[in-house]
Protein backbone atom coordinates (compact mmCIF):
# COMPACT_ATOMS: atom_id res chain seq x y z
CA UNK A 1 0.00 0.00 0.00
CA UNK A 2 1.34 3.44 -0.93
CA UNK A 3 1.88 6.00 1.77
CA UNK A 4 -0.07 9.18 1.12
CA UNK A 5 0.97 12.43 2.77
CA UNK A 6 -0.98 15.57 2.02
CA UNK A 7 1.78 17.99 3.00
CA UNK A 8 5.13 18.46 4.63
CA UNK A 9 6.64 21.71 5.75
CA UNK A 10 10.05 23.32 5.43
CA UNK A 11 11.49 21.55 8.49
CA UNK A 12 10.95 18.18 6.83
CA UNK A 13 12.29 19.47 3.51
CA UNK A 14 15.50 20.34 5.39
CA UNK A 15 15.78 16.63 6.28
CA UNK A 16 15.82 15.62 2.60
CA UNK A 17 17.70 18.42 0.85
CA UNK A 18 21.17 19.80 1.64
CA UNK A 19 20.25 23.18 0.09
CA UNK A 20 19.83 26.27 2.25
CA UNK A 21 19.16 29.97 1.65
CA UNK A 22 19.61 31.48 -0.87
CA UNK A 23 19.59 28.29 -2.93
CA UNK A 24 16.71 26.36 -1.40
CA UNK A 25 13.97 26.74 -4.02
CA UNK A 26 11.06 24.76 -2.57
CA UNK A 27 8.86 25.99 0.29
CA UNK A 28 6.36 23.18 0.87
CA UNK A 29 5.27 19.77 -0.35
CA UNK A 30 1.50 19.58 -0.83
CA UNK A 31 1.08 16.11 -2.36
CA UNK A 32 3.13 12.96 -2.09
CA UNK A 33 2.79 9.42 -3.40
CA UNK A 34 5.64 7.22 -2.24
CA UNK A 35 8.22 6.42 -4.94
CA UNK A 36 5.89 7.77 -7.65
CA UNK A 37 4.79 11.42 -7.55
CA UNK A 38 5.21 14.65 -5.60
CA UNK A 39 3.89 18.21 -5.82
CA UNK A 40 5.82 21.12 -4.33
CA UNK A 41 5.32 24.85 -3.98
CA UNK A 42 7.84 27.63 -4.57
CA UNK A 43 6.65 31.09 -3.56
CA UNK A 44 8.40 33.58 -5.81
CA UNK A 45 9.02 36.91 -4.07
CA UNK A 46 10.70 40.15 -5.08
CA UNK A 47 13.21 39.46 -2.28
CA UNK A 48 14.85 36.66 -4.31
CA UNK A 49 18.50 37.65 -4.83
CA UNK A 50 18.46 36.87 -8.57
CA UNK A 51 15.83 39.56 -9.27
CA UNK A 52 18.42 42.32 -8.67
CA UNK A 53 20.04 41.47 -11.99
CA UNK A 54 17.39 39.48 -13.89
CA UNK A 55 16.11 41.93 -15.05
CA UNK A 56 16.15 45.39 -13.41
CA UNK A 57 12.75 46.98 -13.99
CA UNK A 58 11.30 43.77 -15.45
CA UNK A 59 11.99 40.93 -12.98
CA UNK A 60 11.70 37.39 -14.40
CA UNK A 61 12.72 34.17 -12.65
CA UNK A 62 15.57 32.57 -14.64
CA UNK A 63 14.52 29.38 -16.43
CA UNK A 64 17.50 27.51 -15.02
CA UNK A 65 16.23 28.25 -11.49
CA UNK A 66 12.77 26.97 -12.40
CA UNK A 67 14.49 23.74 -13.50
CA UNK A 68 16.47 23.74 -10.23
CA UNK A 69 13.21 24.14 -8.28
CA UNK A 70 11.84 21.14 -10.16
CA UNK A 71 14.98 19.14 -9.38
CA UNK A 72 14.74 20.01 -5.68
CA UNK A 73 11.10 18.94 -5.47
CA UNK A 74 12.12 15.72 -7.24
CA UNK A 75 14.96 15.35 -4.73
CA UNK A 76 12.40 15.35 -1.89
CA UNK A 77 10.59 12.51 -3.65
CA UNK A 78 13.77 10.48 -4.09
CA UNK A 79 15.16 11.12 -0.59
CA UNK A 80 11.91 10.55 1.34
CA UNK A 81 12.26 6.76 1.29
CA UNK A 82 15.99 6.40 0.52
CA UNK A 83 17.78 4.18 3.04
CA UNK A 84 20.72 5.92 4.75
CA UNK A 85 19.89 9.19 2.97
CA UNK A 86 22.26 11.11 5.25
CA UNK A 87 25.11 9.34 3.39
CA UNK A 88 23.90 10.27 -0.11
CA UNK A 89 23.44 13.27 -2.41
CA UNK A 90 21.23 13.51 -5.47
CA UNK A 91 23.12 15.09 -8.37
CA UNK A 92 21.52 16.56 -11.47
CA UNK A 93 22.77 14.45 -14.36
CA UNK A 94 20.89 15.79 -17.35
CA UNK A 95 17.95 17.79 -18.65
CA UNK A 96 15.90 16.87 -21.70
CA UNK A 97 12.87 18.37 -23.40
CA UNK A 98 12.99 21.60 -21.36
CA UNK A 99 10.39 24.12 -22.47
CA UNK A 100 9.48 27.48 -20.99
CA UNK A 101 5.96 28.64 -21.81
CA UNK A 102 5.44 31.82 -19.78
CA UNK A 103 7.61 34.08 -17.60
CA UNK A 104 7.54 33.63 -13.83
CA UNK A 105 7.43 36.92 -11.93
CA UNK A 106 7.53 38.11 -8.31
CA UNK A 107 4.26 37.28 -6.57
CA UNK A 108 3.76 34.06 -8.55
CA UNK A 109 3.47 30.70 -6.86
CA UNK A 110 5.05 27.82 -8.74
CA UNK A 111 3.22 24.51 -8.38
CA UNK A 112 5.76 21.88 -9.36
CA UNK A 113 4.61 18.36 -10.23
CA UNK A 114 7.26 15.65 -10.50
CA UNK A 115 6.73 12.05 -11.55
CA UNK A 116 9.33 9.27 -11.44
CA UNK A 117 9.58 7.67 -14.87
CA UNK A 118 12.68 5.55 -14.17
CA UNK A 119 14.20 4.55 -10.85
CA UNK A 120 17.38 2.53 -10.57
CA UNK A 121 19.70 2.02 -7.65
CA UNK A 122 22.13 4.73 -8.81
CA UNK A 123 20.32 6.73 -11.52
CA UNK A 124 16.78 7.75 -12.34
CA UNK A 125 14.58 10.04 -14.36
CA UNK A 126 11.76 12.42 -13.45
CA UNK A 127 9.18 14.18 -15.60
CA UNK A 128 8.35 17.62 -14.29
CA UNK A 129 5.84 20.36 -14.96
CA UNK A 130 5.60 23.78 -13.32
CA UNK A 131 2.38 25.79 -13.21
CA UNK A 132 1.36 29.31 -12.15
CA UNK A 133 -2.37 29.81 -11.56
CA UNK A 134 -3.10 26.52 -13.36
CA UNK A 135 -1.17 27.52 -16.49
CA UNK A 136 1.86 25.51 -17.60
CA UNK A 137 4.98 27.71 -17.41
CA UNK A 138 7.75 25.11 -17.76
CA UNK A 139 8.37 21.42 -18.24
CA UNK A 140 11.41 19.14 -18.44
CA UNK A 141 12.68 15.60 -18.05
CA UNK A 142 15.38 15.51 -15.38
CA UNK A 143 17.95 12.75 -14.93
CA UNK A 144 19.63 12.30 -11.56
CA UNK A 145 22.27 10.16 -9.96
CA UNK A 146 22.71 9.09 -6.35
CA UNK A 147 26.27 9.58 -5.12
CA UNK A 148 28.00 9.02 -1.82
CA UNK A 149 28.21 12.17 0.29
CA UNK A 150 31.86 13.12 0.91
CA UNK A 151 33.13 12.93 4.48
CA UNK A 152 33.15 16.27 6.34
CA UNK A 153 36.41 18.07 5.74
CA UNK A 154 37.08 16.07 2.56
CA UNK A 155 37.53 18.01 -0.69
CA UNK A 156 36.16 15.23 -2.90
Q: Single out the catalytic residue among 37, 54, 102, 149.
A: 54
Over the chain, what HEC string results?
CCCEECCECHHHHHHHCCCCCCCCCCCEEEEEECCCEEEEEEECCCCCHHHHCCCCCCCCCCHHHHHHHHHHHHHHHHHHCCCCHHHEEEEEEEEEEEEECCCCCCCCEEEEEEEEEEECCCEEEEEEEEEECCEEEEEEEEEEEEEECCCCCCCC
Q: Is 54 a catalytic residue?
A: yes
Residues annotated catalytic, as ranges: 54
Amino acid sequence: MKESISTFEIEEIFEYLPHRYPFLLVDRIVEYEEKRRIVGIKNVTINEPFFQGHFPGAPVMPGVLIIESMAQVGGCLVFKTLPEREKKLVFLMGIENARFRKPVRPGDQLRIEMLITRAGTRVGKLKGKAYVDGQLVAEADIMFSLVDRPNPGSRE
